[in-house]
Chain A
């Protein structure tokens, strides 16, 4: 997706709105950071949009300040899924939805294991719980409808342009 000035405004506005939802929506099983990551993964980015990763990094810092996380947490998750999106489109896998879905599950699993190992070694805590597993499954279930929504919106956006 090649972004015009309006497109950049739209993207930043969308990111701001989504991050602001953290103020209001406080669910135990639904992680808004991961939902935003699904959306970032579902978008087909243009290879020459070099500004987007910097924007995602900055919005990650913004979210970390709002949530009180250590700086770098949200940014690294956003960028991780952005890179995956780029890798799938460079290798021609973007249109193959089944493979894309499998890659998403593997990526989510890697993130999930990494997070739990980090908490285990850093805090000596076993964070793994039914709630955590349910949150993982909910993200997997949310992927198909969100992906469809983004594909549809992106097609409409390209048509309008």
Chain B
């Protein structure tokens, strides 16, 4: 026993213990920090929003050579696809003009019905287009960084959409940059309406591509292909903004596919909407 202890202590000296104890202590500190979520306080959010400008500036300078190569390669691939896309667009043009006419006539009908019902158009929209400068949508805490901030009058919780539908909301606002919390983020919860019959549910981010809808009323009446839009409840998202469509159904939840492919987006719209007060 004594021999083996001596043998071990010859190799494991004070330095060795400290070289393990220090990082272990730091791991425990990190875990307390992580699980305690102390960084969710207002002060911490403010510090995080302020530091993102500096952190992003440093990392974007360092990664700029790789970024240039990546953008160059993407441009070459895009040029290759232009001819095919042009042909496809020509074919779709006729269909699009027909659906555009249908949409305009529906909009006129809705306006007529609203005037007959004396319903007020109580929402006013405005938006700002921003470029995506950082895409971190590949992990369970999926976010984007966009190049608009307080200087452009961007505010916390502003809804963010692509050309086809809502993708998330602003979670941190810096001076020149803002962070977008995506629908697929594990912390994302959005009240939604499913199908033309307007069944309510809660869209929950799954940390991967397809989010699910939980707490759905009359789940048996929902079919694959039904549209999913925002409900407007909660006051963060305006109502009837497209999100996606139903692609799968379980006993207590629905899987949806988003209309917007975040990987292909380069710009987003930051929606600024307000309720018009009736006189």
Contact = CB atoms under 8 A, between A and B. Distances in A.
Interface of A: 16-17, 19-28, 31, 45, 47-50, 53-54, 56-57, 60, 62, 65-73, 75-76, 79-80, 82-83, 86-87, 90, 92, 119, 123, 125, 127, 129, 131
Given A23-B60, A90-B11, A67 B70 contact: no
Closest 7 CB pairs of A and B: A72-B34, A72-B33, A72-B30, A76-B30, A20-B62, A20-B59, A53-B23
Interface stretch (B83-91, B136-144, B156-164, B267-275): B136-144
A31 B26 contact: no
Contacts, number: 146
Nearest to A70: B34
A75 B30 contact: yes
Interface residues of B, number: 57
Would you call the interface of chain B mostly helix, strand, loop, or mixed? Answer: helix
Contacts of A75: 26-27, 30
B157 to A, nearest CB: 15
A70 B37 contact: yes
A73 B34 contact: yes
Interface of B: 11-13, 15-16, 18-20, 22-24, 26-27, 29-34, 37-40, 44, 48, 51-52, 55-56, 58-60, 62-63, 66-67, 70, 134-141, 143, 171-172, 179, 181, 186-187, 204, 206-208, 263
B48 A65 contact: yes
Contacts of A25: 66, 70
Contacts of B171: 68
A66 B54 CA distance: 10
